[in-house]
Structure formats: C-alpha cells, structure tokens
Homo-oligomer: A and B are copies of this chain.
Amino acid sequence: MKLLDHIVTIPLFEGLSRGQHEALARIAVSRSYKKGQTIFSEGDEGIGFYAIVSGRVKIFKLSPEGKEQILHMMGPGDIFGEVPVFTGREYPAYAEAHNNSSLLFFPRNSFIELVKKDPSLSLNLLALLSRRLRRFAALIEDLSLKEVPARLAAYLLYASKKSSNKDEFDLDISKGQLASILGTIPETLSRILGRMGRQGIILSEGSRMKILNRTTLEEIATKGRKL
C-alpha cells in the first residue's frame, strides 16, 4: 500500500507499531497542490492537519498592509496545521504550496479518536509540539537580534547547518522572501549581502551562497560585531 509507505517515513509517527501505522493509513487522505495554491487560510475552521510527502509548504501570517511574515518553510516529513486539532479552533496562519506538493491530510475527528485510544501516539505528538515551541523561541530570539546583518548572519549559519554544514549551499527561497523572514525589505537585504560580499565574508551568486569566512559570520550573529 503506497499510503502506508509514506506514513512510515513521517518522523512524527516514528517508533509506532505496524498496527498503529495501519490505523493512521486508514484515516489519511492523499492530496495534491500546485505551486502557489492555498492549502488553508488564517481563520479557516481547523478540520485536520497535514503531513508533507513531497514538495515544500510556506506557513505565514499577513500584516494589515499585506506584508508576509513567514513563520516556517516546511519540507517532506513535516507536519503542519495541527494546532487547531487540539484547541478546536481555526487555523492561526496561512499555508500555501511553495512547489507542486503532495500531502497527506488527517481529519480531525478520526485522529482524535485514535489519540484517545493510544498514549504512545500522544507522547510522540507532545514531543513534536515541544520541539516546535523550542524552534519558535529560537525564532523570536533571532528576530530580537536588533540589526539586520546579525539576523542575516544567523540565518546563513542555520541554512549551512541544514546543508550538513557545507560552506556552499542554495537558498531554498527567493531573496525577497528571505527579507521577509528576516523582518526587513529586499533593498536592505541586497545592500547587506553586497557589503558582506565586498568584505570577503560570503559569496552570493543568485541563490547560490558560499561562506568564505565563517568565524566573522559567527561574530556578526552572536556578538554584535559590525559589518
């Protein structure tokens, strides 16, 4: 069964038994989304949550002036939209397919039934939510780094870490979106990338980034070293 294969690869369901995986497969629904397609909007009734099989999903909030604040970029294996499953309310943010994406949808009611019967499933969930809280706390911490160069440096180090600590990697989002993540605008980001490039700290060619001087980058991120 194809669906079951996918379920087994989802970290959230790691360590569960064959029977538990099968139970999950019975309630899951496969769904496809085209690039740019909205999966749910802030305020929509929370009828279930999603797991990513392939593709990428952007989770974001919208300011009154329409400016995006990206909360997460989700990839294969990630779970999103689970908050209202347990609070019984609306989705707290927007979700949009960043690429053509293949998702699994778990309807709220069936899932709640499963969790009620199965404590080990809930321990996995508790760990997931706890980790997510931790990541949020880190994001808040980074946003509060007062200067943009520091936030950018922190982001580049984080992105490098995700690419198994290579010094060279691809930004998986546009620079405009990166600006949004860093809480700034494309013009400012462009200038700071330029300055870092001129000082030989990084090399930025399109979406290809190369870290030339990791030490300096770390000093900019953690101590408030000036550019």
A97-130, CB < 8 A from B: 112, 115-120, 122-123, 125-127, 129-130
Residue among A64, A71, A126, A136 having the largest count of chain B Cβ atoms under 10 Å: A126
A134 within 8 A of B: yes
A224 within 8 A of B: yes
A-B contact pairs, 30 of them (CB 8 A): A61-B140, A61-B144, A63-B144, A63-B145, A69-B140, A69-B141, A71-B140, A82-B130, A86-B127, A86-B129, A86-B130, A87-B127, A92-B138, A112-B123, A115-B119, A115-B126, A116-B119, A116-B120, A117-B119, A119-B119, A122-B125, A122-B126, A126-B129, A129-B129, A136-B136, A136-B137, A136-B140, A143-B183, A144-B183, A146-B183
Q: A116 touching B123 by the CB < 8 A rule? A: yes
User: Interface size (A, Cβ < 8 Å)?
Assistant: 47
A226 within 8 A of B: no
Q: A122 touching B133 by the CB < 8 A rule? A: no
A3 within 8 A of B: no
Copies per complex of this chain: 2
A-side interface residues toward B, CB under 8 Å?
Answer: 61, 63-65, 69, 71, 82-88, 92-93, 112, 115-120, 122-123, 125-127, 129-134, 136-141, 143-146, 183, 222-224
